[in-house]
Amino acid sequence: MIEFRGVTKQFPDGTIAVHDVDIVIPPRKTTVLVGSSGSGKTTLLRMINRMVDPTGGQVLIDGTDVATVDPVKLRRGIGYVMQNSGLLPHRKVIDNVATVPLLRGESRRAAHAHALELLDTVGLDRSLADRYPAQLSGGQQQRVGVARGLAVDPNILLMDEPFGAVDPIVRAELQQELLRLQGELGKTVVFVTHDIDEAFLLGDQVVIMQQGGLISQAASPAEILAHPADSFVADFVGADRGKRALHVTEVDGRRVVVDADGRAAGVLAS
Ligand X SMILES: Nc1ncnc2c1ncn2[C@@H]1O[C@H](COP(=O)(O)OP(=O)(O)OP(=O)(O)O)[C@@H](O)[C@H]1O
Residues at the site binding other proteins, with contacts judged by CB under 8 A:
11-12, 42-43, 46, 49, 51-53, 71-77, 80, 82, 84, 86-92, 99-100, 103, 131-135, 148
CA distance 94 to 88: 11
Closest approach of Cβ 242 to Mg ion, in Å? Answer: 26
Taken as a whole, the chain contains a residue count of: 270
For residues 264 and 251, the answer to whether their CB atoms sit within 8 Å is no
* Partner whose footprint covers residue 133, from ligand X, other proteins, Mg ion, none (CB < 5 to 8 Å by kind): other proteins
Cα 95 to Cα 88: distance, rounded to the nearest angstrom:
9
Residues of the shown chain interacting with ligand X in the complex, contacts defined by CB under 6 A: 11, 13, 15, 17, 35, 37-43, 194
CB of 206 to ligand X, least distance (A): 15
The candidate with the shortest Cα–Cα distance to 23, out of 40, 4, 42, 43, is 4
Q: Residue 260: helix, strand or coil by DSSP?
A: coil
How far apart CA 154 and CA 77 sit, in angstroms, is 6
Minimum CB separation of residue 145 from ligand X in Å reads 16
Stretch that binds Mg ion, among 6-14, 40-48, 94-102, 144-152 (CB under 5 A): 40-48
* Residue 29: CB minimum distance to other proteins, A: 23
Which stretches of the chain bind Mg ion, using CB under 5 A? 42
